[in-house]
A and B are shown apart, each in its own frame.
Chain A
Amino acid sequence: MSAAATAPHAARTASNVRSGPTVARVAAAEWTKLTSLRSAWWTAAVTVLVGGAITYLSARASSVDPGFEPLDSLTAGLVLAQVGPLVLGVLVGAGEFRTGAFRSTFTTVPRRWPVLVAQTLAVAAFALVTGVLTTAAGVVGILPSAMSRGMTVDLTADGGPGMLLGMVLFLVGMALLGLALGALLRRTVPALVTALLLVLVLPIVLMLASDPLVGGGDAATMAAAADAPATTVVGTLGVLLPGAAGSLMTTSASAGGMEGAPDLGPVGGGLVLATWVLVLLAAAALRLRTRDVR
C-alpha cells in the first residue's frame, strides 16, 4: 500500500527539476519582497521629492548671491534625502526580524548568507533607481534659479559627470549602510538610531568639538588655526564617518578636503564608505552564520 501511495509523489519528483536556491534565485525573491512593500515605494518617493525640493529652495536662496554657481547647490538636497535610502536599507535588513518573516526566509534558504547577498543586490538596485531619480530631481531643482539669472546649467562641464555619479553612488551607499546596520542589529529602531547618529549627529558633534570657539580658544589660536590647516584628530575622525566620507563622492576632485581632515578626494571618500558597508555586512553575515535566528 505504501509503495502504491508513494508512487505519484515519486513520479512528480522525477518529472520536475527540483533544484534549490541559488544567489540569482534568492536575489529575484528579495527583489519581489522589496518591491511588494508599500513602505519601499513611499521611501523612494519621499527621497526624490525631498531631494528635489531642498535643492530647489537652496538654489533659489543662493541665486541672489553675486557669485551664484547653480551646480554648487546641486547636492544641497542630499543632506535630508540621504535619510530615505538609510531608512529603506534598515527596513529591509531589520524588517525580517521585526516581523517574524525571517522564519519563512531562513527555512526556505537555510544557508542564510545568500539572503544577505540577495538583499544587498536588491537594495542596491532599488537605491540606484531612487538615486538616479533624486539626482535628476536635484538638476530640475536648480534650473529655475539658473534661468532666473540667465545662466545655463552645463552638466558635462568639468567635474559635472563625476559629481552626478557621486550623488547616485552616495545614495546607494547610504541604503547599503542602512541594510548592514539593520541586518546586524536586527531591530528597526536601534538600527535607525545608530544610522542617524553616524550620518547626521556625530558629524555635527565633531564639528562643534573642533570649533575653537566652542573649545574656549582665544582669537590668537583661532588665527593660528586658520594659518595652518593641519589635520587634527577630530577632523580626521569626522571625515572617516560614513556619511561625511560618502559625501566626498559628490565633490569634485579639485575641491580640496574638509577643514582639519586629510583630503581623501571623491574616490577615497567612496572607499571609506564602502569599507563601512563591507565591514558591517561581514559582521551581519558572521552573526547570521554563528547565531540562532529567533
Chain B
Amino acid sequence: MIEVEALTKRYGSTAAVDGLTFAARPGMVTGFLGPNGAGKSTTMRVVVGLERPTSGTATVDGRRYADLPAPLHAVGVMLDARSVHPGRTAYAHLVAMAKTHGIGRARVREVIAQTGLEPAAHRRAGTFSLGMSQRLGIAGALLGDPATLILDEPVNGLDPDGVLWVRRLVRELADEGRTVLLSSHLMHELALCADRVVIIGRGRLLADASVREIADRSERAGVVRVRTTDPEPLARELLAAGAQVTPQKGGVLHVRAVTVEDVGTAALRCGATVLELGTESGSLEEAYLKLTGDAVEYRAAGGVR
C-alpha cells in the first residue's frame, strides 16, 4: 500500500510535484501516467526516499520508506534501468543487493531464472541492451519477495516478448495480493495491465480512476453510432426527439444525448433501414490527451515566455 499525501517537491522555484495525493492499493496494478516531465519519476524517487519532499508525505504500509526495517522485503524498486555499475556482472550486482538483507544466493538464482537473465548473468551490466538492463532492474525489485512493487517505465526498451512478459508479471503480482505501482507515458500500455490509473500533469493530479471511468471521459464516449440507408429522415426524427446529430460519411450518424434504444425507436418510427447500431467506446488515448492537453500546452506556452 502506497499513500502519497499533499506531496510537493520543488527544485528552486520549479515545482516538479505540486500537492499530489493518491494511493496505490494491494491486489491492484495502479498505473501512474503522465507526459514526460509530469513528475512521475520525481514522485517515485520521493516515495523510495532518494529525495525528500518539500512538503507533504509519502508512505509505504504506513511508514516513511527510510523507516522500513527491511526495505527490500517491503518494496521492490526499479527506478531506472541504469542503476547498476556497468563494470559489475548482473549476478554480482544481485548478490551484493541480497547480502544487505541476508538473502541467500539460491534466491538470486531464482530471480535470474524468473527474469530470463540466465544467459547474461555473468556478463558485465555495461554490455547489456536496455531491455536486458530492464530485466535486471526487475530482478532486483523481485529479490526480496516484496509486498509492494514500484516500477518506473518497466517496458521501456523491451522487445514485444518482454512487453508481454512484464504485463503478465505485474498481473500475477497483483493477483497474489501485492501492491503494484507502474509508471508509463503511454496510455495504451497501461490500459492493458492496470486496474486503476493515476494521471498527473505538471506535478498535479489530473485523474485518479479506473481504466473504464477514464475511457468514459473521452470525446466519443456516450456517442451512439448508427449506419442507415436513410440518414436524412432519421436525422430529422432524432433532432425532433431532442438529440444532437452529426452526419458522417457513408450514411453514418453520430448521435448524442439519447440512448441506443431511443435511436432504434426513432428509426422504426421513420421507417429508416438500420445497418449498424451501437455505442462508440471511448478511446483511452483520447481521454488521456484531453486530460493532459492543457498541462502540456501550458508548459509549451510557458517555455516561450
Q: Do A and B bind each other?
A: yes
Binding site for B on A (CB under 8 A): 2, 5-9, 12-13, 17-21, 25-26, 28-30, 32-33, 36-39, 95-96, 99-104, 106-111, 292-294
With contact pairs A6-B176, A33-B96 given, residues A20 and B84 touching in the complex (Cβ less than 8 Å): no
Q: List 10 A-B contacts (CB under 8 A).
A: A5-B27, A9-B177, A20-B69, A20-B71, A20-B73, A25-B99, A32-B92, A101-B83, A101-B88, A107-B77
Summarize A's interface: helix, strand, loop or mixed.
helix
CA distance A33 to B87 in the complex (A): 10
CA distance A29 to B95 in the complex (A): 8
Closest Cβ of chain A to B255, distance in Å, is 40
With contact pairs A20-B68, A110-B49 given, residues A29 and B99 touching in the complex (Cβ less than 8 Å): yes
* CB closest residue in chain A, given B67: A110
* CB closest residue in chain B, given A95: B85
CA distance A39 to B48 in the complex (A): 30
With contact pairs A9-B177, A33-B85, A36-B88 given, residues A108 and B100 touching in the complex (Cβ less than 8 Å): yes
Task: Choose among A6, A32, A110 the residue that contacts B95 (Cβ–Cβ < 8 A).
Answer: A32
The reply to whether B80 and A107 contact each other, CB–CB distance below 8 Å, is no
CA distance A101 to B73 in the complex (A): 19
CA distance A30 to B145 in the complex (A): 22
With contact pairs A8-B176, A20-B68 given, residues A107 and B92 touching in the complex (Cβ less than 8 Å): no
With contact pairs A9-B178, A25-B101 given, residues A104 and B50 touching in the complex (Cβ less than 8 Å): no
Task: Choose among B26, B100, B140 the residue that contacts A6 (Cβ–Cβ < 8 A).
Answer: B26
* CB closest residue in chain B, given A118: B100
Task: Choose among A12, A21, A38, A101 the residue that contacts B84 (Cβ–Cβ < 8 A).
Answer: A101
Closest Cβ of chain B to A86, distance in Å, is 19
The reply to whether B82 and A33 contact each other, CB–CB distance below 8 Å, is no
* CB closest residue in chain A, given B93: A104
CA distance A152 to B269 in the complex (A): 121
CA distance A111 to B177 in the complex (A): 28
Closest Cβ of chain A to B237, distance in Å, is 48
* CB closest residue in chain A, given B88: A36
CA distance A25 to B144 in the complex (A): 15
